[in-house]
Amino acid sequence: MTTSTHPGPVTAPAGVAAASATGLTKVYGAGETQVVALDQVSVDFRKGEFTAIMGPSGSGKSTLMHCMAGLDSVSGGSARIGDTELTTLKEKKLTQLRRDKIGFIFQAFNLLPTLNALENITLPLDIAGRKADQVWLDRVVETVGLSGRLKHRPSELSGGQQQRVAVARALASQPEIIFGDEPTGNLDSRSGAEVLGFLRNSVRELNQTVVIVTHDPVAASYADRVVFLADGRIVDDMAAPTAEKVLERMKGFDAKGRTS
């Protein structure tokens, strides 16, 4: 696929979407204070692909990620993880789905300080009463470059290493998709590059599906594809992004976040 500037629905061939939204709408508040955070968003996140979501502040990036990860309710439309429709799931099933099918990486690493790296990585599996697949776990640990540091507590690791533990934790359960909310927002550029490199490796080598929200064109350049949001709508979809191309596209948004 080549870079295009067409707005509107972005679709993948049937059967290969790890997550998808159709006509997804999210409205906060009511009356005069009503905010349409997402306005009929349709997008597919394809299996084995690394996607970055970009757009001006307030354009709906976090809302899109939260709605697609089952962390927030929607006002209209559909959000699916694989074939599972999220918008009609009861809370208990939704919790299960988040636990079993989705990996999360946040800006704050959210590691437990009293547990060592390995214990942090396997914690979600332990809570779910599942046993880690040892072969997979070994591959994950190797892919994110943590062999030799597994007995370290978070306080004995650098910020970049801590975020790599968080990446490994997200990967450990072999989720359908990993969502990252500004995963390098708290890291210096070198550690950020490392973490993004490992995320990309997890897509290339472990065939994982990763979607991150970022405002950093360099971070976005690690992705296979960048989806641009403005005013709660998808306004562009760029394949094979470079930092320069992304920066150039971002300049096309005016101060209020609209496309020019």
Residues that bind ligand ADP (CB under 6 A): 28-29, 35, 37, 55, 57-63
Closest approach, Cβ 93 to ligand ADP, in A, equals: 24
Closest approach, Cβ 234 to ligand ADP, in A, equals: 12
Q: Is 251 helix (H, G, I), strand (E, B) or coil?
A: coil
Looking at beta carbons only, is 61 or 233 nearer to ligand ADP? Answer: 61
Looking at beta carbons only, is 41 or 132 nearer to ligand ADP? Answer: 41
Q: Is 253 helix (H, G, I), strand (E, B) or coil?
A: strand
Containing 100, the helix (H) or strand (E) segment is helix 91-101
Please state, in angstroms and rounded to a whole number, the distance separating the CA atoms of residues 93 and 125.
Answer: 17
User: What is the torsion angle, in degrees rounded to the nearest 10, for the CA atoms of residue 160, residue 69, residue 227 and residue 195?
Assistant: 10
Closest approach, Cβ 31 to ligand ADP, in A, equals: 13
How many other CB atoms are there within 10 angstroms of residue 95's CB atom?
Answer: 12
Closest approach, Cβ 213 to ligand ADP, in A, equals: 6
Residue with the two structure tokens 């005013």: 231
SS3 content of the chain, % helix, strand, coil (to 5): 35, 25, 40
Among 231, 198, 196, which Cα is nearest to 212's? Answer: 196
Looking at beta carbons only, is 61 or 164 nearer to ligand ADP? Answer: 61
Looking at beta carbons only, is 60 or 160 nearer to ligand ADP? Answer: 60
Closest approach, Cβ 106 to ligand ADP, in A, equals: 13
Looking at beta carbons only, is 55 or 77 nearer to ligand ADP? Answer: 55
